[in-house]
Chains A and B, each alone.
Chain A
Amino acid sequence: SSELTQDPAVSVALGQIVTITCQGDSLRSYYASWYQQKPGQAPVLVIFGKDNRPSGIPDRFSGSSSENTASLTITGAQAEDEADYYCNSRDNSGDHVVFGGGTKLTVL
């Protein structure tokens, strides 16, 4: 089992705010990064570090972290945001890279 825990599924009404969380003890020491994956496509980085967006990622995506929980927030969810979202960081030893189990986001 992964050392990073995500809720398997989350839903949000079109245009509303949604937060996807990732929990793990290693997150007290390491930031998480977040990836969006649509069916049949490779994951795409959407947030890294404290709250950094790569070029081309809409500013409705933001990140935050507190204690052992990292969060990805979408402010004003769009239909095209429906996807799987994965967090990524270090394991509890800090020596190895791990992924969360993924959260399937449904936009209603």
Chain B
Amino acid sequence: QVQLQESGPGLVKPSQTLSLTCTVSGGSISSGGYYWSWIRQFPGKGLEWIGNIYYSGNTYYSPSLKSRVTISVDTSKNQFSVRLSSVTAADTAVYYCARHRVGQCTGGSCEWLDPWGQGTLVTVSS
């Protein structure tokens, strides 16, 4: 089955750029049908969707992060990545990647995130 694994630095200095990569195994990003999302969870527990990307490179971002975030895909490596610039302590969180399906269910539009990676804690501190 499809599995996702986040990787990247666990400590980033304020004002620098956070960079994480998600490696997908057990399935190909290029096969289509799915978006690939980044989500973060703050220490107080709330979840925030950061954005997603399709294998073609089309991206969608949270309006609150749009000015600082870039999501990219490398289909040759079956990976997708997120970069968040000008980080502050408020960006300290566990960062997750997940496969994101958007479609039509009986009776209306539906979408879901499954599976998720195990998550990686990123701390912003000097």
Contacts and interface: CB of A to CB of B under 8 A. Distances in A.
Contact of B111 (A29, A33, A35, A84): A33
Most buried by B among A29, A43, A45, A90: A43
Interface residues of B, number: 28
Interface stretch (B15-23, B25-33, B70-78, B116-124): B116-124
Given A49-B105, A97-B37, A30 B110 contact: yes
Interface of A is mostly: strand
A41 B96 CA distance: 11
Interface of A: 2, 29-31, 33, 35, 41-45, 48-50, 52, 54, 84, 86, 88-90, 96-99, 101-102
B118 A42 contact: yes
Contacts of B110: 30-31, 33, 48-50
B67 interface: no
